[in-house]
Structure 1
């Protein structure tokens, strides 16, 4: 039986979900991602429900910049995504294989401290739905429209999922 204090893992994409603005941050041309106030508020609400894990090809420097804007209560996790594998993927959900491998590694190492999974990504295909149905924990898939990204309705869906006991 899961620990009553366990919360969901929230797998969170960046592009097509948070839609940050990229700007040049230094003379060397490095980029900084800047979130709108509305997206910051929505992600902070999500962070109350569970632990955030980035599922994005953006480098760690940029996701660290997002975390400093978000002021999350705990450090976000990061699912490693090999860019080459994503570019060559013929899967409707290119991130599915790396996400599945990462979740299995976390479970085997005893670091899977969540009772369910919420995956928010603008590219979730029928293979992700099939995976979710067969996964050993409850899964909620949330697929925002890329132009709009994460909305209030998506956060409410996560809230209902969490409050229903996943």
Structure 2
């Protein structure tokens, strides 16, 4: 019997296309943290998150930590997700890997992020369990094809 896959979802650069020169169509802007630039969100992504949660054990893999549940998900109408515990922000993206590895264990894992580092690529390549890295352009953000790619991968396990 195949173990239920772990699905990891980053926020900035994925759900929040911060590198887009203007707010993309379908997105809204909101200040999430006082003194910072507005973040972007798309309410349609709530349904995508729910689809992923039905296909595996969906976790936040973001420096936002619990703030992703408290400030972001309510805008999408989605219940809170478990959170991968990263070092305090700011931290080097390479430091996501040990925390992700701890959550993934020996289960199949798909990781959606805008910054898969060399350390993350090596980690994924060395894992005996099926591993999928989905890279998202932070100037574009999450696309339906990214969701479908993970869903297709999970269905083939």
Task: Return the TM-score normalized by structure 2.
Answer: 0.74
Distance (whole Å) between structure 2 residues aligned to residue 39 and residue 159 of structure 1: 15
Partners of 1:57 and 1:156 in 2: how far apart? 25
- Matching residue of 1:63: 69
Q: Could you say which residue in structure 1 is the equivalent of 2:47?
A: 41
Instruction: After TM superposition, give the deviation of residue 19 of structure 1 in Å.
Output: 0.3
Partner in structure 1 of residue 103 of structure 2: 103
| Conserved? CA contact 1:33–1:65, under 8 Å | no
Q: What residue is the counterpart of 1:54 in the other structure?
A: 60
Superposed CA deviations along residues 55-100 of structure 1, whole A, max 9, x for unmatched, are 111142342333334444x64111111136724x6xxx44213322
Quote how far apart the aligned CAs of 1:50 are: 1.5
Q: Distance in 2 between matches of 1:52 and 1:61?
A: 16
Matches within 5 A, 1:69-84: 69-72=75-78, 75-83=80-88
Q: Which runs of 4+ in 1 moved over 6 A?
A: 30-34
What secondary structure sits across from 2:63 in the alignment?
coil
Bigger helix fraction: 1
Q: Which residue of 2 aligns with 1:162?
A: 154
Distance 2:90 2:44 in 1: 32
Change (3 A) 1:162 1:62: closer
1:131 and 2:123 correspond: yes
1:152 alignment partner in structure 2: 144
Once the two structures are TM-superposed, the CA of residue 34 in structure 1 deviates from its matched residue by: 6.3
Between the aligned partners of 1:120 and 1:129, the Cα distance in structure 2 is: 12
Secondary structure, counterpart of 2:7 in structure 1 = strand
Superposed CA RMSD in Å reads 3.0
* CA deviation after TM superposition for structure 1 residue 36, in Å: 0.9
Select the residue among 22, 34, 37 that pairs with 2:30.
22
More divergent stretch after superposition (61-70 vs 30-39):
30-39
Spell out, residue by residue over 1:13-41, the C-alpha distance to the aligned partner (whole angstroms, 9 max, x if none): 1000000743269xxx5999663123223
Residue pair 1:86, 1:94 contacting (<8 A) in 2 also: yes
User: Structure 1 regions of 5+ residues with no counterpart?
Assistant: none
Indicate if the aligned counterparts of 2:9 and 2:112 stay in contact, CA closer than 8 A: yes
